[in-house]
Homo-oligomer: A and B are copies of this chain.
Amino acid sequence: MIRGYTLPRTPKGKSSLIPNPPWHYTGNVLAVEYLADEKKAAAFLPDGLELMSNQCAVYFIEWQYASETGEEYLDPVCSQYRETIFLLSGKYKEEPVAYCPFIWVDQDKALMRGLIQGWPKQIGYTWITRAYGLPSKAAPLEGKPGKYGAALSVYGRRLADAQVTIEKESETLPSPTFAGAALIRFFPELEKEKHDQPVVHELVQLKSRDVKISPIWKGPAKLNIFENPYTELTDLKPASVLNGYKFSFALTVDDLRHLNSLK
């Protein structure tokens, strides 16, 4: 009798890469809204979703995580990770919903929790300017206007970077936003002649609870997406950049909504 919410499953169930939900997250976010080529963006959507608009967003996030009883944040090597998320503006049965074509995290635990939710996670390294609490030439000051940067590198190549100058508070989050995003859960088949018949292939929608959002800052932004031989991210390059944002976020995940089977 072996146990555990994920592999590896073991006699005591204490070795799983990920423990049972709920999973608690809190993160500092730098985000940029931008417009992509509409036709190219539309081509990224799976069956069941249509493009709502060519407005995209990229989120760079410095997360800390804990399970219900694990207090993982006290052994922070197991708890901290950084993430870059790209989102498209989709709709599902006329309801607006974000869709994620690309996402990178720097930790296997975050990657695995992501796959379970339908995030198409890969390993990549995100860096985000931090605000600090004391005036310094080395940092913007917490809670004040200031300049921030972020960058994503994958397999030793820079894929994207951004700069945001936050100037004033904003009433609204960037759009599209990741809460409630539609995603694809997918698990391939390896048996010969069945490589195109995945055993899991479904459209799902994120559910989160206990969402908390800090005051939101906003201002002008720049965004670069660089050529890369291994990803079609460049088809989502900015035609024009709208606004940059900075805010903090906390949420809990222990549920998921099944939308459509795609098998």
* Interchain CA distance A42-B80 in the complex, whole Å: 35
Residues of B within 8 A of A92 (CB): none
Question: Mask for A90-128, Cβ within 8 A of B = 1, else 0?
Answer: 000000000001110001100100011100111101011
Residues of B within 8 A of A185 (CB): 187, 199
Question: Mask for A227-263, Cβ within 8 A of B = 1, else 0?
Answer: 0011111010000000000001110111111100000
A217 at the interface (CB under 8 A from B): no
| Given A8-B120, A77-B127, residue A28 in contact with residue B200 (CB < 8 A) | no
A157 and B155 within 8 A (CB):
no
* Interchain CA distance A200-B101 in the complex, whole Å: 24
List residues of A (49-106) whose CB comes within 8 Å of B's CBs.
62-66, 68, 71-80, 101-103
Copy number of this protein in the oligomer? 4
B15 and A73 within 8 A (CB):
no
A195 and B133 within 8 A (CB):
no
B9 and A46 within 8 A (CB):
yes
A179 at the interface (CB under 8 A from B): no
A contact residues, total (Cβ < 8 Å): 111
User: B9, B28, B43: which contacts A186 (Cβ < 8 A)?
Assistant: B9
B8 and A102 within 8 A (CB):
yes
23 A-B pairs with C-beta separation under 8 A: A2-B45, A7-B121, A8-B101, A9-B46, A11-B235, A14-B232, A17-B122, A21-B195, A24-B136, A66-B136, A68-B137, A73-B130, A74-B129, A75-B151, A75-B161, A76-B130, A76-B149, A78-B155, A80-B130, A132-B250, A134-B249, A187-B199, A195-B254
List 4 additional A-B contacts (Cβ < 8 Å) besides A14-B232, A77-B125.
A6-B188, A64-B130, A66-B138, A134-B212
Residues in A lying within 8 Å of B, measured CB to CB: 1-2, 5-12, 14-15, 17, 20-21, 24-28, 40, 43-47, 62-66, 68, 71-80, 101-103, 107-108, 111, 115-117, 120-123, 125, 127-130, 132-140, 147-151, 153, 155-158, 161, 163, 184-188, 190-192, 195, 199-200, 212-214, 229-233, 235, 248-250, 252-258
